Amino acid sequence: MMINYVLCILIMKKEIVHSVVLLITICFTFIFSQTSLANYDLQISAGLFIVLFFAKKYFVPKTPGSKLLESVIFTIVILMVINTTGGLTSPFFFLIYFLLFSLAMLLEPIISVVTTLSLIILFLLVSPDNQSFRNLLPVFSLAFLTPFALFLGQERIKIEQLKTKEGNTLLFLSLLLKNHVKNIRSAVENFMGDHELKTIDKSARKMEKLIDEFEKNN
C-alpha cells in the first residue's frame, strides 16, 4: 500500500510539472507572436527541430525528458505557425487538433485537458471584441476533441502496463523457475533413491510458493 501511495504521489508530481511546463510554453508562443521576432518564425522552427534532433540523438534518447522536449518543441512550432498566420483565421488552425492527440500520447492523458483549457482561454483573450460566435467556433471545438485525446492517452497507458506485466511474467519464468526446473530434471536423470525424491519435492514446493506469490502480486 505504501509503495502504491508513493508511486501515485510521484505520478501526480510529474503530471503537475509537465502541465506547468506546457502552460508556460503556450503562454510564451502567444507573447512571441506579438513581438518583432515573429517575422523569423520559420528560422526559429527550423532551429528547434535541429535542437530536437541532436538532443534525442546524443543527450536524452528514449527518456521521459525526451518526450517532454518533443512536446514542448511541437507545441511551440505549431502555435507559432498558427499565431503568425492569422490565429483563429489561420489556415493551419487544424494542426492544434493533431497537437492535442500527440500530447496525450507522448505525456500523461490529463495534459490534453490542461492544454485545451489554456488554448481556449488565451485565444479568447487575444481575439478582437467584435468576433462573432462563428469565428470563435474553432476554439470551442477543441473542447469536444479533448475527451477523444484523453481516451487515447488512457488506452496507451493500459497497453504499456500490459506489456510491462507480460515482461515481468517472462522474467519470472525465465529467472526464478528455470533453476528449479533444472534441479528437478537433474534429480530425475540421476535418480538413486530418497535423496533425489526430496530434491524434487523441495524444488516443486519452491516453484509452487513462487507461483502463488507472483499471482498475489500481479
pLDDT of residue 12: 62
* Residue % of the chain over a pLDDT of 70: 65
In sequence order, which residues have a C-beta less than 8 Å from that of residue 42 and are 6 or more positions away? Answer: none
Q: Which three cell numbers stand for residue 112?
A: 490534453
Residue 89 has pLDDT above 70, yes or no: yes
Whether the pLDDT of residue 131 is over 50: the answer is yes
C-alpha dihedral (84, 88, 91, 93), degrees to nearest 10: 90
The confidence score (pLDDT) of residue 3 equals 41
Are 110 and 123 within 8 A, CB to CB? no
Question: Torsions phi, psi of 134, nearest 5?
Answer: -65, -40
Res. 24 pLDDT band, cuts 50 70 90:
very high
Higher pLDDT, 163 or 52: 52
CB 41 within 8 A of CB 84: yes
Q: Report percent pLDDT > 90 for the chain.
A: 3
2 pLDDT exceeds 50?
no
pLDDT computed for residue 9 by the predictor: 47
Please give the Cα distance from 75 to 140 (Å, whole number): 19
Set of cell numbers at residue 60: 536524452
Q: Report the alpha-carbon distance of residue 68 to residue 75 in Å, rounded.
A: 10
Pull the grid cell for residue 74. Answer: 511541437
Mean pLDDT on 71-97: 88
What does the pLDDT read at residue 7?
42
Mean pLDDT calculated for residue range 19-36: 88
Domain boundaries, the chain: 17-146, 162-217
Residue, of 98 and 182, whose pLDDT is higher:
98
Mean pLDDT over 20-43 rounds to 86
Of 103, 99, 86, the closest CA to residue 41 belongs to 86
Report the range of poorest mean pLDDT among 14-23, 57-66, 166-175: 166-175
pLDDT at 134: 78
Q: Is pLDDT above 50 for 23?
A: yes
Summarised one tens digit per residue, pLDDT across range 140-188 is 888 888 888 888 777 777 777 666 666 666 666 666 666 656 666 565 5
